[in-house]
Amino acid sequence: MIIVSSIFLLWRAVLFIVAELSSLILRSNHHFTGVEFVTWRSAPNLWYWANFDGQHYLSISKFGYHQFEQAFFPGYPMLIHAVSFLTKDVLLSGFIISNVCAALFAYVGVKFFSLYYPKASVYKGLALLLAFPSAFYLGAVYTESLFLLLSVLSLYFAKRNKFLLSSVCGALACFTRLVGIFLIPALLWMWWKQKRQKTSLLAIVLVPIGLVAVLALNFYQTGDFLYFIHVQPQFGAHRTGESFILLPQVFFRYFKIFATVNPLSYVFFISVQEFLTTVFALGTIIAYWKKIDKALLIFCLGVLLTPTLTGTLSSMPRYILGAFPIFFVFSHFFRSKYLFAILIFVFAILQIINVALFVNAYWIS
């Protein structure tokens, strides 16, 4: 517990310092920020943790869904709305929820992966995850930390043969993010490998309820069950909402970007991160797929491949966080301590740069 707390608090402290200093040094972009949700209760500069998607979650939690905002699942903003009854401040509520969930994920994550790997490997996995270039989103007003917490709880309870609790957490994960549905095949695999009790199998049927609720909400508001998919092009990033694009074609598009875009441009910087982080995640699965627990493998593949079907790797550094088992898998099986330390260092430097840009309203992921 002390080691987990130390790793987590060090990560948060560094990000706070970087965010505060960068807000004084860099010129803010002043677009898509969370500043409009600042109240007298909010701490100074807390708003910059709600930039971009964060402002949509706060808007939904405070005013309900507006046009096109069905792209954002309701689980997280509903929780913000509930907590705001106590805080009287949606911005403060979102910030508290994200950071509490991130801390709880670190604690439960260590307990869960300790069922698979030695503690030393698990601590390294947590450090690698928190050093990852997009890990600062776990402390921002985004769904990432809530989704990670619900997912790891679902997997942890299933591993302990508590499938009712597992399924409730899985349903809530589906209510928070679309890729929560990949907990279903993961839980089914875990059930098959355990006692195979019929009551446990029936409990797993609860998991899709979260997604069904989202589909029903979409239909009620727009007349389209899949509106959250069809509306994706409205948010830019060259996403398609009507057809699926396979990964080889997506990679080809990125090779064209690298060949045509100025290497000193901001677009190139972001595109390289999107591509290389995706290669890292998929490469980890390819390298160690025979050694990964099949339930975790199924879950990670679903989480990683689904966003690429929109035809772009935009936001992939952030989406990769949802496939959190890969960090613990990599940390356990990768043998070179020297190269691992270099990787942690490179990831951490990139995260520092990214958080400095993000809090000043420059798009990262």
User: pTM, whole model, 2 decimals?
Assistant: 0.94
Range of the domain at 333: 2-358
The pLDDT assigned to 37 comes to 60
SS3 of residue 365 by DSSP: coil
Q: Is the per-residue pLDDT at 260 higher than 60?
A: yes
Instruction: Report how far residue 196's alpha carbon sits from residue 219's, in angstroms, rounded to the nearest whole number.
Output: 36
Q: List, for residues 189-226, the tens digit of each pLDDT value.
A: 999 988 778 778 889 999 999 999 999 999 999 988 88
Q: Which of 319, 246, 263 is nearest to 271 (CA)?
A: 263
Average pLDDT of the chain to the nearest whole number = 91
> Average pLDDT in the 69-88 region?
94
Whether 363 is in a domain gets the answer: no
pLDDT (0 to 100) of residue 66: 86
Task: Judge whether 317 and 277 are in contact, CB under 8 Å.
Answer: yes
Give the chain's radius of gyration (CA, Å): 20
- pLDDT for 132 equals 98
Q: Look at residue 309 and tell me if it is in a domain.
A: yes
Measured CA to CA in angstroms, residue 38 lies from 44, 276, 291, 301 at distances of 9, 36, 48, 38
**pLDDT (tens digit per residue) in 306-349:** 999 988 999 999 999 999 999 999 999 999 999 999 999 999 99
Which token pair is 77? 């903003």
Confidence at residue 231, expressed as pLDDT on a 0 to 100 scale: 85
Residue 160 has which token pair? 């302990």
- Domains: count for the chain: 1
How much of the chain, in percent, has pLDDT values that exceed 90? 72
What confidence score (pLDDT) does residue 40 get?
45
Closest CA to 153 of 191, 108, 99, 209: 108
Q: How far apart are CA 328 and CA 299, in angstroms?
A: 14
The whole-angstrom separation of Cα 136 and Cα 131 is 9
Render pLDDT for 139-161 as a digit per residue (tens, 0 to 9): 999 999 999 999 999 999 999 99
- Residue of higher predicted confidence among 195 and 268: 268
| Single-letter code of the amino acid located at 187 | L
Q: How confident is the model at residue 355 (pLDDT cuts 50, 70, 90)?
A: very high
Q: How far apart are CA 254 and CA 353, in angstroms?
A: 22
Confidence check: pLDDT of 36 > 80: no
State residue 202's pLDDT score.
Answer: 87
Residue 20 resides in a domain = yes
Question: How far, in Å, CA of 175 to CA of 73, rounded?
Answer: 6
For 350, the 3-state DSSP assignment is helix
> What is the mean pLDDT of the segment spanning 76-94?
94
Question: 204: which 2 tokens?
Answer: 């797993």
Residue 240 inside a domain? The answer is yes
Distance, in Å, from the CA atom of 307 to the CA atom of 274, rounded to the nearest integer, reads: 12
